[in-house]
Structure 1
Amino acid sequence: MTHAIITGGSSGIGLEIARLYLERGYHVSLLARRVDLLEEAARFLAADRSEVTARIHTASVDVVDGAAVEAAIRQAESVHGPCDLLVAAAGRVDPAFFDAQFPETFQAQIDVNVFGVAHAVRSVYTGMKARGRGRIMLVSSGAAQIGIPAYAAYCASKAALKGFAEALRAEARPFGVVVSVCYPPDTRTPQYEREMLARPVEAKAIMGVLHPWEPLVVAERIVKGLDRGAAEVHFGFALTMLALFGAFIKPVIYWRAARGRRA
């Protein structure tokens, strides 16, 4: 039976990905920090179906702690078998202008968004290589494609995942391991709701007035990308064009944002 491990799986995009894979009959392990949210997620996913409950494993872990992530994944594999598919969806965003943000908060975003992903990948990668198969999806962000005021740590960390995915893909391909990265847009998650309370007008001028996507729609596109072994998964016309032609598009976006602030 296929075993999918999802970090950040207790809410938002990760939770919807878990639901899609459970509907396929997969075993699913959810890793997240808060025990209460994990328990709530498991109840939501199982919906009182004992057969589904048996295919759900949860583990409370901070992805910043590499040893704890390793232990949690080993435990998940002891329950449901080797990891066939990893979705590294755990992330953190704390909007604030660089000179106004505590260094600890800046560092925390890098730790979760970069090292938290690397810890999860490291915990499954060796086994996947040995078995000659496996799929890994790194959940980056549309913010990886353009620098946004008050998002210095977030943009830097999510852009780092693009380079990580490209390098790891080149290493993993000969061993039958597929490495993908996706760049979701604003998505209506609990984290998004908190983020919007701190998003300044300067950021809104860059990001525009696009409405947030629903988590299920984003999850469906990520799963389809994994199914076809896509190297990258993009969302919507605007973000796709930004990814492909950013060198030409970004100067215009910055010019229009600056012009709007002067008006």
Structure 2
Amino acid sequence: MTHVIITGGSSGIGLTLARIYASRGARISLLARTISALEAAQAELSKSGNADAIRIESADVADEGQTAAAIARCEEAFGPCDILIACAGIVEPGLFDVVSTAAFERQIRTNLFGSIHAVRSVYAGMKQRRTGRIMLVSSGAGLIGIYGYSGYSASKFALHGFAEALRSEARPHGVKISVCFPPDTETPQFARELEHRPLEAAVIMGRVAPWTADAVARSIARAIDKGRFEVFFGWTLLALGRFGSTVKPFLNWWFDRAILRISRRQ
């Protein structure tokens, strides 16, 4: 039976992916910080299948020791990890000179190092078995820098670079690495993010309707099934991913004009 480990699995895209794999009869291990949210997710998933096939672990992925210990317990209970989805992430919008160093670093530690810690916990075993799939969840903000998202974009751009390098290393050992770039997605975190999104970013990003978590999760699951390396959502992100050096100058020109108009009104 396939063992799927999902960090950030208690809500949003992570929980929606857990629903997909639970419907397939997989063993599911969910990692997140908040135990009450994990317990609610476990209760929901247990209703649709085998309750004994759903495991939860409270851990902060920014802490390597917590992450490694939690994943080790999951593998002891359910066997080696077949699929890892590193979905845990945080976003704290704000202008660079206003956002605190602590908030900036939290995003780097959680989004980048949190994913790295999870991968490190399963990668050696996958290499030894010569099989395994790893999906890293970046963001559309990992393809182009967004006003007010310097910390978040930095972490998500770095995650893309990590995925590219790791893909080359993992391929000869039968381990498939993937990275996806979701757009704005209807999740609890997105709702919280909107409360702090700068007006300039809202004008730029608000022109595109957010995707549902279900649509994003289904695309991610299909990409894992097919072993695709990069997963883009919608034509704009596909264009950025495939033709970024050509597309970005035009987008940045449009962004700059929109931001200038707003600044003149303030």
TM-score (norm 2): 0.96
CA distance in 2, matches of 1:258, 1:17: 36
Could you list the structure 1 runs, at least 4 aligned residues long, displaced by more than 4 angstroms after superposition.
none
Q: Deviations over 1:112-159 (max 9, x none)?
A: 001100000000000001111000000000101111111001001001
| Aligned positions of 1:40-59 closer than 5 A | 40-47=40-47, 51-59=49-57
CA distance in 2, matches of 1:261, 1:132: 50
Q: Deviations over 1:35-61 (max 9, x none)?
A: 0000001111122x5x52111000000
Identity of aligned residues (%): 52
Residue aligning to 1:236: 234
2:243 counterpart (242, 245, 261): 245
CA distance in 2, matches of 1:36, 1:123: 24
Instruction: Calculate the aligned-residue CA RMSD, in Å.
Output: 1.1
Contact 1:206 1:253 in 2 (8 A): no
Q: Deviations over 1:197-218 (max 9, x none)?
A: 1111221343351111110110
CA distance in 1, matches of 2:260, 2:158: 32
CA distance in 2, matches of 1:261, 1:15: 35
Residue aligning to 1:26: 26
CA distance in 1, matches of 2:110, 2:116: 9
Deviation, structure 1 residue 103: 0.3
Partner SS state of residue 245, structure 2: helix
Contact 1:205 1:257 in 2 (8 A): no
User: Is 2:196 the partner of 1:198?
Assistant: yes
User: Is 2:252 the partner of 1:254?
Assistant: yes
Residue aligning to 1:176: 174
Give unpaired runs (5+ residues) of structure 1.
none
The letter for the 2-side match of 1:168 is L
Give unpaired runs (5+ residues) of structure 2.
262-266
Q: Deviations over 1:67-99 (max 9, x none)?
A: 111110110011111100100000010000000
The letter for the 2-side match of 1:195 is E
| Aligned positions of 1:30-109 closer than 5 A | 30-47=30-47, 51-109=49-107
Contact 2:143 2:157 in 1 (8 A): yes
Moved more, 250-259 or 101-110: 250-259
CA distance in 1, matches of 2:163, 2:86: 12
Partner SS state of residue 100, structure 1: coil
CA distance in 2, matches of 1:234, 1:260: 25
Partner SS state of residue 61, structure 2: coil
CA distance in 2, matches of 1:212, 1:194: 14
User: Is 2:219 the partner of 1:221?
Assistant: yes
Residue aligning to 1:14: 14
The letter for the 1-side match of 2:14 is G
**Residues 1:261 and 1:131: Cα distance change in structure 2 (over 3 Å):** closer
Q: Deviations over 1:211-240 (max 9, x none)?
A: 111101100000000000001011011111
TM-score (norm 1): 0.97
Moved more, 248-257 or 150-159: 248-257
Deviation, structure 1 residue 259: 2.2
CA distance in 2, matches of 1:220, 1:163: 24
CA distance in 1, matches of 2:259, 2:183: 24
